[in-house]
């Protein structure tokens, strides 16, 4: 066994090991494709050697045909890999890719015919091949695929990150040197000179593919497989010492080489394990760093939200308290001079300001209970329609002051719902108040209907509407429609709390709107748990204010 054959076997083993390692660590498209490329190179190296030493015409023909077919596979897989790495690209249309696959399959099938292999001569020490009539086209197609792959990778360097740029660069150089060397020794020079003895050197050029890939893995995290480089280096040393042991000329050298091999095997295993632990720790640190960045980002967002909320809350508390103080001072210092209707009017405004402050405090308390998971409910059977009537009556004056057509439409079918009456009242009041608040003119309609075993409470208005962008975030904490956020004061907590309450009642709440300034509709759907003993045919009752 000569040294050339030993080196060839080592390179074949390293190629196979590299393909398996990449496939084991990266099962995405680019990983699978690159592994297939490496396996094809490995198989090509094996069949190239077997084609040279085959001692029968049929075996030589089949091995040479397989070598050519694998050359087509290598070219196509490299082209395919260039489209996938580092990110999948649409530089080549699907129709063109299908055409390339068809042409590649056509030439791979022709590799076993006289169109590619004109004839085979069994000559010692190396068999020779005569070219078929279509071999020049075969070579042109092979070089076309390789060149197309290089062009795609070069094009991808323009928009790549610094890390990706280096990865692409080393993949290009490793593949380029391997293809040039193998093409010269296995195709171009033998066909031009008729000397096929140099074809045995083609597989040696795969060392460039291995070296540049390993370097890209080690220095620039290609496939995130740094451990591959360590394993590959360790296995190379193992193979070298193994062959040195087998080729030792005397027992003493064989013993020394064998002992050194055993030592290196154990040392290599510990080295690989150490690298794996180091990589795992680094990955954990990187993940922790990412988690910390995300947490820091969330903290910054919460800080902004907190500042915004405190600004809202302070304004919401300060404004009504200032109004209450002002009216109280007027009454205190001018009680004897002011007429009773004026005092009553001031008292009404003081009540509204007080109610607004109480509502804010209640919202804050409910929010904290929700965040801490301490929201408690006192469930009982009650009528949504009855609660709606009470809320309508309480808000009648506000709607009347704005000149709104305010109507309650409710069926006499008084189904009950198992609910916390006080909490559900907050939900209904919040929705109706919002409808009145965000409707400058027009109407607000409230209805309670039965639908498919559920009661649906609905509030529709002709007000400012909701933009398409605002709808998905409407029920989130501190969120408000941008169109009204500056025009009307509020904390953005009401709908968030309402959703939590409805969800805890096994219900659903949602909003609908056709757009800005086109009105909106809010719906609450709750399961219908009981019906009255004497149900009448439903009919609409409208209370117009």
What confidence category does residue 520 fall into, taking pLDDT thresholds of 50, 70 and 90?
very high
Q: Residue 392: pLDDT above 50? A: yes
3.30.565.10, 3.30.1300.10, 2.102.10.10, 3.40.640.10: CATH of 379-544: 3.30.565.10
Topology of domain 302-372 in CATH is Helix Hairpins (1.10.287)
Domain 3-226 has CATH 3.90.1170.40: no
Is it the case that residue 384 has pLDDT exceeding 80? yes
Beta-sheet strands, E only, within 95-149: 117-121, 128-131
Question: What is the phi/psi pair of residue 454, to 5°?
Answer: -135, 155
CA atoms within 13 A on the CB side of 261: 17
Mean pLDDT of 16-24: 71
What token pair was written down for 311? 């600004």
Sign of CA dihedral 149, 150, 152, 153: positive
How does pLDDT run across 92-125, given as a tens digit for each residue?
888 888 899 999 999 999 988 999 888 888 876 6
| CATH code 3.30.565.10 region(s) in the chain | 379-544
**pLDDT (average), residues 287-294:** 84
pLDDT band of 50, cuts 50, 70, 90:
confident
Q: CATH 1.20.1070.10: which residues of the chain?
A: 3-226
Question: Which pair of tokens denotes residue 439?
Answer: 């409707």
What is 464-526 written as a DSSP string? SB--TTTGGGTTSTT---HHHHTTS---S-HHHHHHHHHHHTT-EEEEE-SSBTS-EEEEEEE
Between β-strands 520-527 and 454-461, what pairing exists: parallel, antiparallel or unpaired?
Answer: antiparallel
Averaged pLDDT for residues 436-461:
89
Give the percent of the chain with pLDDT over 70.
Answer: 75
Does the CA dihedral 183-187-190-192 come out positive or negative?
Answer: negative
pLDDT confidence of residue 247? 65
When pLDDT is cut at 50, 70 and 90, the band that residue 511 belongs to is: very high
261 vs 198, 230, 271, 403, CA distance in Å? 33, 17, 15, 96
Per-residue tokens: 220: 């620039």
pTM here is 0.46
pLDDT of residue 99: 92
Q: Where in the chain is the domain with CATH 1.10.287.130?
A: 302-372
Sign of the dihedral through C-alpha 187, 188, 189, 190: positive
Beta-bridged to residue 449, according to DSSP, are 456
Whether residue 75 has pLDDT greater than 60: yes
Give the confidence band of 317 by pLDDT, cuts at 50, 70, 90.
Answer: low
Task: Give the angle 415-420-425 at the CA atoms, nearest 5°.
Answer: 80
């Amino acid at each position: 066994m000569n040294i050339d054959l030993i080196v060839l076997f080592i390179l074949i083993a390293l190629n196979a090991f590299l393909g398996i390692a990449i496939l084991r660590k990266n099962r995405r498209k680019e990983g699978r494709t690159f592994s297939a490329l490496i396996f094809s190179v490995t198989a090509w190296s094996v069949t190239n050697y077997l084609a040279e030493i085959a001692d029968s015409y049929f075996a030589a023909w089949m091995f040479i045909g397989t070598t050519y077919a694998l050359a087509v596979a290598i070219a196509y897989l490299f082209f395919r890999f260039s489209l996938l790495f580092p990110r999948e690209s649409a530089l080549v249309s699907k129709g063109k890719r299908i055409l390339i696959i068809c042409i590649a399959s056509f030439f791979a099938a022709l590799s076993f015919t006289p169109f590619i292999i004109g004839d085979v001569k069994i000559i010692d020490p190396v068999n020779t091949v005569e070219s078929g009539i279509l071999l020049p086209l075969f070579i042109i197609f092979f070089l076309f695929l390789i060149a197309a792959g290089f062009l795609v990778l070069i094009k991808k360097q323009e928009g790549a990150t610094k890390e990706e740029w280096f990865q692409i660069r080393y993949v290009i150089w490793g593949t380029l040197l391997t293809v040039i060397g193998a093409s010269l020794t296995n195709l171009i020079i033998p066909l031009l000179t008729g000397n096929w003895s140099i074809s045995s050197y083609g597989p040696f050029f795969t060392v460039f593919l291995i070296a540049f890939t390993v370097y890209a893995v080690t220095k620039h995290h290609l496939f995130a497989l740094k451990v591959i480089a360590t394993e590959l280096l360790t296995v190379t040393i193992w193979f070298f010492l193994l062959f040195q042991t087998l080729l030792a000329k005397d027992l003493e050298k064989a013993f020394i080489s064998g002992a050194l091999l055993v030592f290196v095997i154990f040392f290599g295993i510990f080295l690989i394990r150490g690298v794996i632990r180091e990589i795992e720790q680094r990955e954990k640190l990187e993940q922790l760093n990412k988690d910390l960045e995300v947490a820091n980002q969330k903290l910054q967002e919460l800080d902004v939200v907190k500042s915004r909320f405190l600004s809202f809350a302070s304004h919401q508390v300060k404004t009504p308290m200032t109004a209450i103080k002002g009216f109280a001072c007027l009454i205190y210092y001018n009680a004897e001079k002011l007429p009773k209707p004026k005092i009553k009017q001031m008292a009404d405004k003081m009540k509204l300001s007080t109610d607004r402050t109480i509502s804010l405090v209640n919202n804050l308390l409910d929010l904290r209970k929700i965040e801490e998971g301490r929201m408690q409910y006192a469930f009982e059977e009650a009528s949504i329609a009855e609660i709606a009537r009470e809320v309508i009556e309480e808000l009648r004056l506000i709607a009347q002051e704005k000149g709104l057509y305010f109507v309650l439409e409710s069926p006499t079918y008084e189904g009950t719902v198992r609910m916390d009456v006080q909490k559900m009242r907050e939900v209904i009041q919040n929705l109706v108040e919002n409808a009145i608040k965000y409707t400058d003119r027009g109407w607000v309609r409230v209805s309670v209907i039965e639908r498919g075993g559920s009661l649906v409470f609905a509030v529709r208005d002709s007000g400012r509407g909701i933009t398409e962008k605002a709808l998905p975030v409407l029920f989130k904490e501190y969120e408000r429609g941008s169109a009204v956020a500056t025009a009307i004061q509020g904390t953005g907590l009401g709908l968030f709390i309402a959703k939590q309450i409805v969800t805890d009642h096994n219900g659903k709440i949602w909003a609908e709107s056709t757009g800005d300034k086109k009105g909106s509709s809010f719906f609450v759907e709750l399961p219908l748990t009981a019906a009255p003993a004497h149900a009448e045919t439903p009919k609409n009752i409208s209370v117009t204010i």
